[in-house]
Amino acid sequence: MEIIVVKDKFEGGKKAAEIFKQEHDSGAKVFGLATGGTPETTYEQIVASDLDFSDDVSVNLDEYVGLAPDDKQSYHYYMQHHLFDKKPFKKSYLPDGTNLDAKSETKRYSQVIATDPIDLQLLGIGENGHIGFNEPGSAFDSTTSKIHLTDSTIKANSRYFDNYEDVPKYAYSMGIGEIMRAKKILLEAFGKNKAKAVKAMVEGEVTTDVPASILQKHPNVTVIVDEDAASLL
Ligand code: GLP
């Protein structure tokens, strides 16, 4: 793992956008994208850059089950607002939260990932070490599945909703096995609340209790952390 420590999330976003540019210039065509507060500065920098994704494909990590694309809390809406409106891709895929048939939706999405293998996967990390929505205990070889969110994740994500009760309890998420097949992985973490998870990911035992710890086994991972998130390393 290559660890890059930056001053703050703004410097982190700049560095991440540079890596997107490098990979794009070297021929990357399929970009795995993430949502949440963490990648916002990266998307701001990409939007301000001359990157052109009109010949490329994006594949997002996850979506809440039950939320429609025009729901402001959905990850479809987030992506549209933060990136796609300004930097459209030839084709953008996200799990379909309105398809309540989990079997058909997870199968469809796994096929999407198999058809368009990911060149560069952007990741955040949950306070409990989750990646995508793969909560502690998820198998390292998992494919796309419907995940029952843990209480800690629901609490952490409730800051984006009016009430705790409004946070969906399930999500569709790309599996850890699928994330691990990306050619390159770029994980970002900013803030003190991520310090414990970052330490466990980088220096801890590789265990399903900390899903992100499997990244120690991936041959091409760059981690961008601010000083707060790196404070326990
Ligand atoms: C969410 C997302 C993850 C994200 C993580 C951290 O649950 N499913 O993909 O990395 O939590 O979110 P944030 O960046 O808002 O801290």
ipTM of the complex: 0.96
At residue 68, the pLDDT reads: 96
Asked if residue 10 belongs to a domain, the reply is yes
In angstroms, the CA 49 to CA 87 distance is: 10
List average pLDDT for each run of 10 residues in the chain, which is 233 residues long. 98 98 98 97 98 98 97 96 98 98 98 97 97 96 96 92 94 98 98 98 98 98 98 97
194 within a domain of the structure (yes/no): no
CATH number at residue 74: 3.40.50.1360
Q: How many domains does the chain have?
A: 1
Give the structural domain span for 122: 2-187+208-226
CB 197 within 8 A of CB 128: yes
- Candidate from 73, 125, 225 with most ligand 1 atoms within 8 A of CB, to mutate: 125
Check if 135 is active-site: yes
Residue of 56, 63, 119, 135 marked catalytic? 135
The pLDDT score that the predictor gives to residue 161 is 93
Strand ranges across the sheet with 184-189:
2-6, 221-226, 184-189, 120-123, 30-33, 57-60, 91-93
Answer whether residue 52 is part of any domain. Answer: yes
- Which amino acid residue places its CA nearest to atom 11 of ligand 1? 126
**Residue 196 within a domain:** no
What confidence score (pLDDT) does residue 208 get? 98
- Catalytic site residue from 24, 56, 116, 128: 128
163 tagged catalytic: no
3-state secondary structure of 192: helix
Is residue 166 assigned to a domain?
yes
Asked about 218 being catalytic, the answer comes back as no
Ligand 1: list residues with CB < 6 Å. Answer: 34-38, 61-62, 124-126, 132-133, 153, 157
Q: How many CA atoms lie within 13 A of 139 on its CB side?
A: 7
Q: Which ligand 1 atom minimizes the distance to the CA of 193?
A: 16
pLDDT the model gives residue 20: 98
pLDDT at 183: 98
209 is catalytic: no
pLDDT score recorded for residue 129: 97
Radius of gyration for the chain, computed over Cα atoms and rounded to the nearest angstrom? 16
Gap between the Cα atoms of 175 and 162, Å rounded: 29
Q: Per the domain annotation, does 170 fall within a domain?
A: yes
Considering the domain boundaries, does residue 145 fall inside one? yes
35, 135, 138, 185: which to mutate for ligand 1, most atoms within 8 A of CB?
Answer: 35
CA 125 / ligand 1 centre spacing (Å): 6
Q: How far is the CA of 29 from the centre of ligand 1 (A)?
A: 24
Q: Residue 4: what are its φ and ψ, rounded to 5°?
A: -115, 120
In a domain, 193, yes or no: no
